[in-house]
Amino acid sequence: MFKGPAETRAFADAFESPDGVDAVICPAYPSLSAAVDGGLTTYAQNVHWAPEGPFTGEVSAPMLLELGVRGAIVGHSERRQFFGETDETVVRRTIAALEAGLSVIACVGESEEEREAGQTELVLRIQAESIRDAVGAHERLVVAYEPVWAIGTGKTATPEQAQAAHAFIKGLVAVPVLYGGSVKPENADELLSQADVDGALVGGASLEVESFTAICQSAARIRS
């Protein structure tokens, strides 16, 4: 929940994606139009499963499409943690968005307690299989692995931990998998160099044009 329309316009004016990188910006709802008008590939941070109805505070896929928004994140760890998002509602949002024509970044990941209890693969299997069983390996679906213990904490999964989780997820659903969890310019090269890490879902480091650009440049170097 950062950057209103004016700040988003300034970001769009300053940002230039390196060649060979698919860079997507996911601003808060009031800033979606500013991002679209600024020429950025724009996704929403969430989307509801109904096209319309008595769901005050929610936003539908048709509304996003009318704005020129291309996709949406669903099931972000903060939505799960603070707003009661469940595997069931993540699946409902994913189905509705894909059927409407949006692309989807569907987030999965374990908490610190689940990792310490040795339940990482169990949690990832339940979350990833629920999405796979609903929509399959859809061409507009991307999964993002977010170890919840690394979101906004400054902690980051080691490259080996990220690689292991991504390989496991890809064994369940055949789609690209992004890593999200305190990605920053200092660790982007090492994380993005892993065989099964297809990109990054960048949080705090995306708020400054310079740091987000540096991460995109890391991706361009590695993919070239």
Task: Say which of 48, 85, 146, 166 is annotated catalytic.
Answer: 146
CB contact at 8 A, 223 and 197: no
Task: Say which of 48, 76, 138, 166 is annotated catalytic.
Answer: 76
The distance of Cα 163 from the centroid of its chain, to the nearest Å, equals 17
Can 146 be counted among the known catalytic residues? yes
Can 76 be counted among the known catalytic residues? yes
Query: Comparing C-alpha atoms, which of 203, 198, 164, 193 is closest to residue 179?
Result: 198
d(CA 74, CA 162): 20
Instruction: Please give the positions annotated as active site.
Output: 76, 146
